[in-house]
A and B are shown apart, each in its own frame.
Chain A
Amino acid sequence: MATRTCLVTGSAGFVGSVLARTLVSRGWRVVGVDREPVPSWRECPDVSQVQLDLCDLEAVLALVGETGPEVIFHLAAQPFVPVSVAEPYATVRDNVLATTSVLEAARLHGVARVVHASSGAIYGSEPGEHTYFESDEPKVGANLYGPSKIAAENIVLAYSRTFGLDVRIGRFMNTYGPGDTSPSRIVPTAVCQALGGDCYDFGDRDDGSTALDFVYVDDVVAGYLAAAEVDDGALQGVYNFGTCDPVSVRDLVRAVSRLADGTEREPVFRGPVADNPRRKCLDAGRARKELDWEPRTDLMTGLRATVDWYREHLHA
């Protein structure tokens, strides 16, 4: 069988690098593209890496023209909510404009499918208990991340409806796992503090009560692969990927502490106390049914792998 070629945008990032490596292991020829160089701990020698800014339409057109991918996995984004408040313009640029370049290149070069990384953030962040379905409407909240993802999804679907481009949108919840070194995410923060810090302090973003739907990175990658392969004759597909089993951030970081060294650290959360704590998760019934997708890694297994990875890399 001929080698299949794909493009992975955001390949220097957390999820993109794991996806690129997995695709290589499945026999794909993978071209990775990112504005940043790939950090050493995410390198994969079999991914040919191109460094460019996806907002540069001409460069993206040339790249897609030269490499002729069958599928584009579009993961490049500015993915952090607090950064979206500090840097709103750059966020919208990376999340909306870069997506438009990718779509335009896919349209003009006849790419067979675009798999787009979206987020459970589009459903908003209202207090209280929520299980979201794909049919639930997006909500504009007090940050630019969710809204920029709402806009990007709509542009993806508009390209599909207007030009017959085959698109798949995955809405993912909080992804964690080996290789995520972002200091603004809860799992890496907890692991680093538990393995090397003197305190166990999670600042003023939360009071510890918020419960979120944590998905292990390998399961997320499996979702991308399934979305790329599904052959249902439709031109569009939108899928939630989540465990539907929310865990409070306080319970999460307690578990990390135990896994790190058996110690029961008492986490400090200095955020305003929530009267009506947020419990948010995604119903992944459609992905189960149409993509045969399951979150296969339970939280303890996933956290253990994450802690082990850190133990190896933090001291290396």
Chain B
Amino acid sequence: MPTEFDSELSDSLTLVTGGMGFIGSYLTARLLALGGRVVVVDCDTDPGRQSLLHELPQDQRSGLEIVHLDLRDRDAVAALIHGRNFDYVFHLAGYSVIEKSTAFPYDSLMTNAIGGLNVFDAVRRSDTPPRRVVITSTDKVYGEMDGSHYLEDSPLRGIGIYDAGKLTADVMARSHFHTFGTPMSVLRLCNVFGPHDYNVGYRLFPKSLSKIFNPVAPEPPVLYYESMDHWRDYVFVEDVIDALITMACHEQSLGEVFNMSSVVHLSTPSVIKEIIDTSVRILSEVDPYRAELVEKNGMQVTTYGQGALAIQRQRLDHTKIAQRLGFRTSVTFEQGLERTITHHTERLLRNGH
């Protein structure tokens, strides 16, 4: 959906860290479509890597530059930021999966905490700072909920390694604003879903879909006993892009932190069920045989065992982003699900099986 700020970005130069990733690639595609120039930095720019950016038609790539860079390298980050006059910076790069952060705690903290600091520090020292730096934080920084929702000023009691790295960046971003006036804005995301999320190893949506759309034969998506009672907020990726753009351009978001709006609050079993049901419905039109198998498979319930810690219930209050920035989501959960699964269906048909 267009935002009221799109025109401000049409002639801008923007840095997107982690631009090869799921959310970063959507943001980059949108900025390019608006006529902006975008520098993507990422530590994994392998052309063989799956990314929406690799699927952009050639005529939409003219404003795009991809720079291979590891954000843990302070000097390289500073050289990049001081060498260009970026209008906007979106900081999205990092370890984005809890299980990977648990497996590599030091590296994850170096990336999520110090990598973020490297960006904020370079911006603070810049002679020509960008108009705004927007960072993607997470609802995980809050930890276990006291009441029915998290508010932006709820205590931060993140529990795991991923949470601690994100919390550090979140706190550092805000203290840079309060101390130096560095133009920061923080968006705390809930769970984001959509096509082109290639984190198939761990994340609920891409992982479940990779089973259902396994080109050889459908397999049942996995539900862990441990997540039986997990409740999460969900939002479609394009709404996140709208929110990021709104945050970057809105005066009222300077130095502020916002919870992302969500479109649904569901338990993990219900999400998997929704994914299965929608897949069956869409597949039955084009591949009834697979649809039948998917329906018959249902989901597989098993124990995860080696527990990465998880918060039971997460729910964001989104009054602030709605009232202060006038932000509204525009894709319902059902529409988002339909689009995501249609995408997977088309890809399956295109690739033949």
Contact = CB atoms under 8 A, between A and B. Distances in A.
> Which of B117, B156, B158, B176 has the largest count of A CB atoms less than 10 A from its CB?
B117
Interface in A147-172: 147-148, 150-151, 154-155, 157-159, 161-163
B106 interface: yes
Contact of B309 (A103, A144, A154, A161): A161
Contacts of B106: 57, 100-101, 104
Nearest to B122: A89
A97 B112 CA distance: 12
A151 B179 CA distance: 16
A247 B19 CA distance: 52
A140 B156 CA distance: 11
A59 interface: no
Given A89-B121, A142-B178, A143-B179, A158 B159 contact: yes
Contact of B164 (A85, A104, A148, A154): A154
Nearest to A89: B121
A86 to B, nearest CB: 11
Contact of A100 (B110, B174, B175, B176): B110
Interface in A125-139: 137-138
Given A88-B179, A96-B114, A158-B159, A147 B309 contact: no
A93 B74 CA distance: 12
B179 A155 contact: no
B260 interface: no
Nearest to A143: B179
Given A92-B117, A138-B156, A162-B308, A144 B161 contact: no
B167 A154 contact: yes
Contacts of A142: 175, 178-179
A279 interface: no
B175 A140 contact: yes
Nearest to A163: B105
Contacts of B171: 140, 147, 150-151
B206 interface: no
Interface residues of A, number: 33
> Which of A93, A142, A150, A162 has the largest count of B CB atoms less than 10 A from its CB?
A162
Nearest to A144: B175
Interface string B159-177: 1110111011001101110
A161 B105 CA distance: 12
B156 A154 contact: yes
Interface in B131-155: 155
A113 interface: no
B329 interface: no
Contacts of B211: none
A141 interface: yes
Contacts, number: 96
17 contacts: A89-B74, A97-B110, A97-B114, A100-B110, A100-B113, A104-B105, A138-B155, A140-B178, A144-B175, A147-B171, A147-B174, A151-B171, A154-B158, A158-B158, A158-B159, A158-B161, A163-B105
A163 B307 CA distance: 10
Contacts of B159: 157-158, 161
A130 to B, nearest CB: 16
B102 interface: yes
Contacts of A154: 156, 158, 163-164, 167-168
B176 A151 contact: no
B168 A162 contact: no
A155 B168 contact: yes
A107 interface: yes
A154 B283 CA distance: 46
Interface of B: 74, 102, 105-106, 109-110, 113-114, 117, 121, 124, 155-156, 158-161, 163-165, 167-168, 171-172, 174-176, 178-180, 308-309
> Which of A103, A147, A163 has the largest count of B CB atoms less than 10 A from its CB?
A147
Contact of A158 (B114, B117, B124, B164): B164
Contacts of A162: 102, 105, 160-161, 308-309
Main secondary structure of the interface of A (DSSP, over half): helix
Contacts of A155: 109, 113, 161, 164-165, 168
A104 B114 CA distance: 15
Nearest to B171: A147
Nearest to A158: B164
> Which of A89, A141, A159 has the largest count of B CB atoms less than 10 A from its CB?
A89
Given A100-B109, A162-B161, A137 B175 contact: no
Interface string A70-108: 000000000000000100110011001100110110010
Contacts of A100: 106, 109-110, 113
A290 B156 CA distance: 25
Shortest 6 CB-CB contacts between residues of A and residues of B: A137-B155, A158-B164, A147-B175, A151-B168, A142-B178, A104-B106
A243 B8 CA distance: 55
A163 B105 CA distance: 10
A142 B174 CA distance: 9
Contact of B172 (A85, A92, A107, A137): A92
A237 to B, nearest CB: 16
Given A142-B178, A158-B161, 19 more contacts: A85-B179, A88-B176, A89-B74, A96-B168, A97-B110, A107-B105, A140-B178, A142-B175, A146-B175, A150-B171, A154-B164, A155-B164, A155-B165, A155-B168, A157-B159, A158-B159, A158-B164, A161-B159, A162-B160
Given A147-B175, A161-B160, A88 B124 contact: yes
Nearest to A154: B164
Nearest to A141: B178
A96 B118 CA distance: 13
Given A89-B117, A96-B168, A104-B105, A158 B176 contact: no
Given A96-B114, A154-B164, A144 B179 contact: yes
Nearest to A136: B155
A9 B165 CA distance: 23
